[in-house]
Structure formats: structure tokens, C-alpha cells
Structure 1
Amino acid sequence: MDNSGIYVGLDIGTTSIKVIVAEFVKGQLNVIGVGSERSNGLSRGVIVDIDRAVFAIKKAVDQAEQKANIQISKVTIGIPANLLEIVPCTGMIAVGDDSGNSKEIDSNDVFRVTKAALIQKLPPERDIIDVIPDEFIVDGFDGIKDPRGMVGVRLEMNGVLYTGPRTVLHNTIKCVQRAGLEVEDTIVAPLALATQALSDGEQDFGAILIDIGGGQTTASVVHDHKLKYTYVDQEGGEFVTKDISVVLNTSLENAEKVKRNFGYAASYLASKDDVFPVEVVGKAEPIQVSGEYLSEIIEARLTQIFLKLRDVLQGIDALKLPGGIVITGGVSALPGVKELAEDIFETNIKLFIPQQMGLRHPSFTQAIGLVSYMTKQSEIERVVKASLSDNIASVDKIDSLKENRVQEKEEYNESIKPKKQKIKKNNSLEGFKNFFNTFFD
């Protein structure tokens, strides 16, 4: 399936909301617009104030629209792994006629067998976030990835069902809709993150992905290209900032600044001789704080987080996976995170930082992962996902969705033509200047 077109990912995080607009063409993902806005109305990864969250989403989307020079109407959103449950599902239907004669399997049959697999008794407080097929079975022949076009009498599907709290899913979708946007797809956040941060080999042989965000830290176990387990610790970068604020008796704003500018995750990497001023509440003059003392505060909180994760991951033998641990998320940008994690987990640790121009910071990994996940979805996966809708006509939208993306891409290319022509008219000196500015970015 050719997934060429324009994709938009919306990452609603505790500390920031990020929007990524990307063009996927010839197997290459090119980011053409970015929006980033300070989050409001979220706590520990969950929306607690819809109005404030909507306002922040609108501002982030406006930024991305201006940079990409397109109007954003549909977005793909990530659903956090809070209280996520991963359960197997199985469905079976007859595809032949009343006489038991076989017939050719089509998308509607895939829709029906997925519906059969979704017939489960869910608690009223839970909703289905996603369903992913593992295999289809046609008349006893298993291991089939896409049964459409095959002839059979009986069709079965084995898959994985992801369910989450109804409150989290409903509030997230409602915020996006109130911001004037259509939710194109909902994706379990660790699934999207894995497609970006883990290599094919790591996803195949097994690895642990740790996302240290502002409001919480999520550990995900991926094996055989499937999300097997998630654990969420309700502590993240905001807790580090609060610790600095309390210990140094300074405001949260100042605590965040000194954490970013002078902090180390491993205190032995910091120096006693490196001192910096910190404004203290109740004092006219700032106090002098050493880098080592600041890093001891940071190290204490991160050690607590890592120790919790280690105990949980040891309990399921995940630390034995050959892929080791890959760490990403905004807090992982602190120097010394890798060294501290190696001391605690005693396994191979790797930091992941996106390599897209202008987005080389681990806080963008989730947003980029959302658009990357969409470009890698197969057509059969989209047909299965469409079955979450009660309307069978939604299956027919798969082809029209592809046509819309192609049209969006053509409109975007038309909109930037004048800019390309203008660049060509610049003199050679200006051309060299633009080249070196881009090269050394």
C-alpha cells in the first residue's frame, strides 16, 4: 500500500503540546511544520481541564499551520498508557453462502470477523483504543496476513486488543474536537514511540522502551514487533523541578531554568567548583549553588524512578531481553541519564534522539512517532481498525483517505512553488549564505 501523503501527529503531553506535520513520499518522511506550546490543563499525562487544554492545542496547531503553509483539519493522537490493558482477541465467521459454497473474501468480511473478535464484556469504565491483527485463518490455513482475494468458507482472526479508561479516551478526543479538529486515528502512545525509537531488530528480539516525560515515566516491553507490557510511574520531570524548588527555596520557573542549564542526572559528573546564582524566596540577593549539589537533588528523584522500574521489569524478566533499554523523552536530555541508568539497571542502555532537522531533542520523539506509525500501517490494519466504528461504510473510506492525502500533498506542492521560484532568483552570494546556514543548523 502506498501511504504517500500529508500526516499530522498531535502529542498532548503534561508539560508541552507538540504538533508535527510531515510529508511521506517515496519511503521518506519529511517534517514540513512544527508547533510546540506549553501545556495547560494536564496532570500526570491526563487532561484535567478541557478548556485550558483546548486553548493550548489551538496555539500549537496554529504554529504548525503557519510553518507548513497548510490548514490542519485532521490529526492522529496518542493515548497514554495509563491503566492500559493488553488482551488477546479471536473471532470467526462464515464467508460462504447458505449452501456452504466458498466465496472470495473481501474487506467487509474482514470487518465482520473483527467485529466478532471485539465481542467482549468490557467494564463500563473502559473503552477500546486499538485492535491489531496478528494473523488470519482461512479454512484452517493459518499465518495469513491479508485474506482479501482468497477463497474460503470460514474466516478467523487472532489479534490484540488495547483498552484504556473511558475518561482518558473521551476527554482527549473531546479536546481535539473542540479545538476544531477531526480525530483521524487514536494510537496507543508506546506503540507509536516504538516505531520511532526502536530498530527493527530491537522490536523483533525484544527491548524495553522508557519514556521519561514531564508528568510521568512509561516503561514498555516490545517483543516480536508487539507491545507486550506497559508500566506507568506517576513521576517525571515535573517532580525533579519541584524537588529543586523545595530544596533551594526558589520558584518553579527558576528551578526549571537551573535544571536545564546546569543539571546532571549523575552527580559524579558534576563539579563542586562550578557554581551559579539562584534567586531564593525571601532574600534580596541570590545564593550560590554548586553544580554537584544541584545534581544530587536531580539524581535522588531519578534514582527513585529507575529503582521502581527496575523492580517491575525484573518481576517479568524483561531485563533479560537482548535489546536492552532505550531511553527517550524530554528528561533524557539531561546529561548523565545514560550513566545513571547503567548503574541501576545493569544492562545495555541507549539514548534515542530524533535526527530530523530542527527536532533533535528527545521531547519530540512521541510526536514524530505518531506520524511514523501512520505511514507504516498496512491497508489490512486500517480495515481492521475501521471496525471499531459501528458503521460498515467506514471500510470504504480507506481508499478515499488515500486519495485525500494525495490531494493534500499536491495542494502543498502547489502552495510552495512561488517560494521555490523566488529562491532561484536570489543572487549567488545569497545562495551560498542560505547553503551554509542550512548546513550548519
Structure 2
Amino acid sequence: MGNSGIYVGLDIGTTSIKVIVAEYVKGQMNVIGVGSERSDGMNRGVIVDIDKAAFAIRKAVESAERKANIQIQEVVAGIPANLLKIESCRGMIAISDSSREINNQDVINVSNAASLHNLPPEQEVVDVLPDEFIVDGFDGIKDPRGMVGVRLEMTGSLLTGPKTIIHNLKRAINQAGLDVIDVVVNPLALGKTILNDGEQDFGTIVMDLGAGQTTAAVIHDHYLKYTCVEQEGGQYITKDISVVLNTSLENAEKIKREYGYAMSSEASQDSFPVNVVGQNDPVAVSEEYLSEIIEARLEQTLDNVKERLASVGALEMPGGIVITGGGAALPGIVELVADVFGLNTKIYSPDQMGLRHPAFAQALSLLEYETNLSEVDILVKSAMVSTARVVPEQESNYSDEQHEGSSNAVGTTGRISQLFSRDRSSNDEKGTTAKPQETSETPKPKNSDRVDGFRKWFNDFFD
């Protein structure tokens, strides 16, 4: 859709928090600020200490604010796919007046009806993705507004996740002094933005190689069909190196980035010094031996992911595998993934200046996903996102003073208000008895020899 305005993407990872500020004008994205800080209060992609996570988020946001020269108040946050459930949903409502055109509120009402499910107490609705609308039996409708009928139905997908993860995420962001305008499932945003139309249509596996966990998602027929999370990532490789070589975690991480290679058969015989605990002089270790340590952990992780993907038939899809995330910058990773899965494999890395590293793919995908939501997507989303709840006129007005000093990014609430303003204006033109609305001007924005090349690319992000 190309919604114009300033958007802020927040990717809270296990080892780093990335904030990207971008301005969208007529569908074109211009990154105006980036912040990246070490994470705290995180374990395997999930917030386990709200206070520490909030402090780290605040630092990353402040870094992005200085570079973008704006004050950030609202963010689009990504949520991990841990224990994510995807199921079909269907809702139906009756239209009170068959001569009245279907409007925004009808779309929200039918979305509410579709999202009514008997969920376990520990689960919460994360998102509702509309597939089609049906008006009086006529299906295949993407936008029913303006049509007339007596029965409106909606089919789609319901995404639910653990209440604890969702609550801790929102709580930490709020404690950092920020508002959450939308929560997007990470693999959903990645699949919708880093894959081309054919890959989304015929079926492709998107694999995010993170520090705390590895996430694989199946995108088919343009929908997120399946996700699985393996609780092993780059941190486990670092721990293995530390244990086997008897060196500190800090040294192990540095060694991995400077000398690591994913496939031992292609690593060199050159040696490098390692500071070993309890010894005064460094010990020489070959790059091949280091790569054997790395390869062993990666193969174990990838084999587990492969087993779960094979169980749902995902390995039969023609799109192959697209890998991203910080771990995707490890030299030789493409060859190893292709060897383990027996599928065509490639890396996705953003092409924006200063962000050409796969570790930034997730944060950018959140922005791309949010700005390309259609009006109907926004209405459906508002049915279950409490911060974007559409309320009666007298409750929905907000003043400039309430938002003074914020980034004034285009939020879901603001776009919903605009859509309802359009509905009322349209009704007035047709002579209906809609109440006049007190309007106020929407605040405007104030607000990486081949192995060596790979290693440099891998190091750039951390430097």
C-alpha cells in the first residue's frame, strides 16, 4: 500500500537490539537513523528480565534518535515464533440494513467474530490475517467495503502465542518509554518482505540464524503456513569453542568471528593464537580444528530443524531455503545448509547503505511489512490490537498536546481514525445522519581471497 510517514522498527534479539527509523514517501523507503546495542535480560530470543531489557531498548532507541535527529515514541515490534500456533478462522455477521453499504466497522465486527476462539489460558491472539471476504455467498472478495448485502463472512488465519512472551515484550517496551503501535510475528514479516512473488507462491523456507535460537518458517501460497524454533544458535557455537579450547566466552566469540568457517573440509590449515585459561603463553590452533567445532554444533541444529520441516512436507517445495540473521554471515554457511538439507540455499542481506548485513534483515522487514498493510489489513488488525481499538467518536479524538514531543510516526490508531473519518465523510455525502466529527490535523513527522571477504562482512556488524 505504501503508507507514508515515519516508521520505527524494533528487533529485540538475544545478543543485540536493533532500531531502524525510516521515512516512507510514495512507497519509497529512506532510512534516516539506526541504533544497535547489546541486549540484556534476554535468553533464547525471549525477554526474561523486563527491567534489563527495557534499559537496553532505551539505549538502542536513544542511539537511533541521535542519528535520525527525532524523538521516537512509537515502534513496530517483532515477536519471536516460540510456541506460535497457526490455525484457520472464520467469522460471520449479519448486516442490519440490506440497503446500507458495508463499511469499516462491519469489517472490524466480522474480524472480531473470526478471532473468537476457545484459547488455552496461556495463549493470546497475536494477529488475524484475512484471506477472503464473502458477501451473501459471493467469495473471493478482498475488500467488501462499499458493497451491499445481508451477510458478511471472513476467512483467514489466526496466529496465537504465549501470553508471557507477548506481555513481557510489550511491558519492556512500555517501560522504555515507548508505545507499541503493532506487534508482528518475526517470520511473517521476513517471509513477506525478503521473498519474491514466485518464492512466496510456490513455497520457500525462510531460516533466521539467530544467536539464541534458529527459526524456520514455511511460506506457501503467500501465507505463513508453519514455523519451528530450535533452541540453539550462535551463542551455543561460542560456548562450544570456549569449552573445547579452554578460553573465555569473550575470546571464543572473537575467534569465531575472525577465524571461523562453517565447513571444516573447506577451512585452511593456518593456525592462530588462543589465550587458554591457566596458561601464560597462547596456544596455536588451526582454523580447520576450529571449524570442526563450529560444524558439529551447526549440523546438530540444522538436522533437528530438517527433521521438523520434513514432517510437514516442507522439503518438497521448489523455493529452497533463504537464510538470514547474524549467523548467516558466517563463512561457508550457505554450503553447509545446502549440504544438510539438499536444497538450493541463498543468503538474504539488505541492500540499504550501512545496513548490508543479514543481522539487519529482521528489523527492516518489520518496517516493510507494516508500511505495506492495506486498509483492510489495518482494520482487521485493529479488531484484536488493543492499542488500535476503534472506539466511538467521542473517545477516539486525541489532541496534539497528548502526543507532543513524540516521533509522531504513523500509527495504526491514527490510520484507523483516518479510515473512519473517510467513512463518515462518505456517509454525509449520501445524506445519512452520521454525526459530524471534530477533526484535528494529524501531527506530521518531526522525527556487508573469498573467505576473507566473508569474515570482514561478518565483523562489520559487531564493529
Length-normalised TM-score, structure 2: 0.85
Task: Compute the RMSD of aligned alpha carbons.
Answer: 1.8
What are the superposed Cα offsets for residues 196-249 of structure 1, whole Å, 9 maximum, x if unpaired?
321121111110001010000001000011000000000000000000000000
SS in structure 2 opposite 1:151? coil
Give 1:392's aligned residue. Answer: 390
Alpha carbons 2:5, 2:24 under 8 Å: kept: yes
**Change over 3 Å in CA distance of 1:181–1:405 after alignment to 2:** farther
Give unpaired runs (5+ residues) of structure 1. Answer: 413-441
Alpha carbons 1:95, 1:102 under 8 Å: kept: no
SS in structure 2 opposite 1:19? strand
User: Aligned to 2:102, which of 100, 105, 108?
Assistant: 105
> Which segments of structure 1 move beyond 4 Å, counting only runs of 4 or more?
399-407
What is the Cα deviation at residue 319 of structure 1? 0.9
What is the Cα deviation at residue 130 of structure 1? 0.6
For 2:5, the aligned partner's letter is G
- More deviation, 190-199/387-396: 387-396
Q: Distance in 2 between matches of 1:198 and 1:316?
A: 20
Alignment of 1:22-421 (within 5 A): 22-97=22-97, 101-272=98-269, 274-389=270-385, 391-393=389-391, 397-400=414-417, 407-409=443-445, 411-412=446-447
**Change over 3 Å in CA distance of 1:129–1:268 after alignment to 2:** same
**Change over 3 Å in CA distance of 1:404–1:76 after alignment to 2:** farther
Length-normalised TM-score, structure 1: 0.89
Give 2:456's aligned residue. Answer: none
Alpha carbons 2:81, 2:229 under 8 Å: kept: yes
Q: Distance in 2 between matches of 1:341 and 1:286?
A: 33
Alpha carbons 1:5, 1:405 under 8 Å: kept: no
**Change over 3 Å in CA distance of 1:401–1:298 after alignment to 2:** farther
What are the superposed Cα offsets for residues 59-103 of structure 1, whole Å, 9 maximum, x if unpaired?
000000000111100001011000000011111011133xxx332
Give unpaired runs (5+ residues) of structure 2. Answer: 397-411, 420-438, 448-463
What is the Cα deviation at residue 407 of structure 1? 4.5
SS in structure 2 opposite 1:152? coil
Alpha carbons 1:5, 1:406 under 8 Å: kept: no
Q: How many percent identity over aligned positions?
A: 61
For 2:415, the aligned partner's letter is I
Alpha carbons 1:96, 1:152 under 8 Å: kept: no
What is the Cα deviation at residue 401 of structure 1? 6.7
- More deviation, 149-158/22-31: 22-31
What is the Cα deviation at residue 392 of structure 1? 3.4
Aligned residues: 407
SS in structure 2 opposite 1:103? coil
Q: Distance in 1 between matches of 2:260 and 2:361?
A: 22
Q: Distance in 1 between matches of 2:101 and 2:418?
A: 24
Q: Distance in 2 between matches of 1:224 and 1:203?
A: 6
For 2:390, the aligned partner's letter is I
SS in structure 1 opposite 2:253? helix
Q: Distance in 2 between matches of 1:211 and 1:299?
A: 17
For 1:316, the aligned partner's letter is V
Q: Distance in 2 between matches of 1:133 and 1:397?
A: 21
